[in-house]
Homo-oligomer: A and B are copies of this chain.
Amino acid sequence: MIANRATTLARFSLNQMTVDQWSLEEAVEACRRAEVGWIAPWRHKLIDRGARDYSRLLQAAGVRVSSLCRGGFFGAAGADDDNRRAVAEAAELGTDVLVLVCGPAPGRDLREGRKIVAQGVERLLPHAIEHGVRLAIEPLHPMMVAERSVIVTLAQALDLAERFDESVGVIVDAYHVFWDPDVERQIARAGSRILGVHISDWVTPMGDATAARAMIGDGSIDLRRLLELVDRAGYRGPIEAEIISSELRSRPGREVFQRTLERFGELASDHRLPV
């Protein structure tokens, strides 16, 4: 049941990894048919045709891009060049938000890894500003600190973002931050630096921790409260359903898409999400 269809369609964005079994063409077509206004592609899905081509496809379908995922991985060989390409692709796709995954550390030294990230953001920023793209630091769940992101709390992401002007902000991903006793205060602090909001749900026991997210409403995250917090912080942009799940990946894309849209509708209605 979609209780508040107008709100749902105004705020919902389909993060492409929720329907990883689909090509970008299939995902865009599903959004067009369902009148979903937003999509969030991942860069590895752009390979076949390139960003410029997809931009035409998106415009024809009337679907806008809420963010491009992802740049980052500072310190890896070729990261700077790749990040500049990511900025250019975001601009070509018509979004001003590039999501950054900030890690891992080169060894056991997380402080060193964190320095590398700060320096990487600083180097990338002039290029981003030139292209009208904002850099969105996404703190990942602390269980991903060793292999993926040395930025693991909103406080830490904001400490870094606030070294720069509002061209640098943060992503609030429910799955990554719901556990944090400081989350209320940090979301309020983030304010206009919130460049995106991602939702999914948390279940245990988890299998592969990188693809163990659950359908909205199936787990233990109080998503309603998290949406209230980003509301109060003034965020009115698209909310991406990003449910990276090996289980959902094995199901028909259409089923996953419909279920996601329904659950988002229930949440938006329950919470009276503002447009």
Binding site for B on A (CB under 8 A): 107-110, 114, 141-143, 145-147, 152-153, 155-156, 178-182, 202-206, 208-210, 219-222
Question: Contacts A146-B202, A146-B204 hold; do A222 and B110 have CB atoms under 8 A apart?
Answer: yes
Extra 17 A-B pairs, beta carbons < 8 Å, given A108-B222, A153-B181: A107-B220, A109-B222, A110-B179, A110-B222, A114-B181, A143-B143, A143-B179, A143-B209, A145-B179, A146-B203, A152-B179, A152-B181, A153-B180, A155-B181, A205-B208, A206-B209, A209-B209
How many monomers of this chain does the complex have? 2
A209 to B202, CA, bound (A): 14
Instruction: Pull 15 A–B residue pairs with CB atoms less than 8 Å apart, ordered by A.
Output: A108-B220, A108-B221, A110-B178, A110-B181, A142-B143, A142-B179, A143-B143, A145-B178, A146-B202, A147-B204, A152-B180, A205-B209, A205-B210, A206-B209, A209-B209
> What are the residues of chain B within 8 A of A114 when measuring CB–CB?
181
A208 to B110, CA, bound (A): 25
> What are the residues of chain B within 8 A of A145 when measuring CB–CB?
178-179
Closest residue of chain B to A210 (Cβ to Cβ) is B205
> What are the residues of chain B within 8 A of A110 when measuring CB–CB?
178-179, 181, 222
> What are the residues of chain B within 8 A of A219 when measuring CB–CB?
146
A110 to B181, CA, bound (A): 8
> What are the residues of chain B within 8 A of A221 when measuring CB–CB?
108
Distance in Å: Cβ of A65 to nearest Cβ of chain B = 31
A195 to B160, CA, bound (A): 33
A107 to B181, CA, bound (A): 16
Distance in Å: Cβ of A182 to nearest Cβ of chain B = 8
Q: Are B209 and A142 in contact (CB under 8 A)?
A: no
When A and B form their complex, which 9 residue pairs have the shortest distance between CB atoms, in order from nearest? A142-B179, A145-B179, A108-B222, A143-B143, A146-B220, A156-B181, A142-B142, A147-B204, A108-B220
> What are the residues of chain B within 8 A of A205 when measuring CB–CB?
208-210
> What are the residues of chain B within 8 A of A141 when measuring CB–CB?
142-143
A40 to B109, CA, bound (A): 30
A155 to B155, CA, bound (A): 13
* Residue from A108, A182, A221 whose CB has the most chain B CB atoms within 10 Å: A108
> What are the residues of chain B within 8 A of A155 when measuring CB–CB?
181-182
Distance in Å: Cβ of A44 to nearest Cβ of chain B = 20
A209 to B203, CA, bound (A): 12
* Residue from A146, A205, A210, A219 whose CB has the most chain B CB atoms within 10 Å: A146
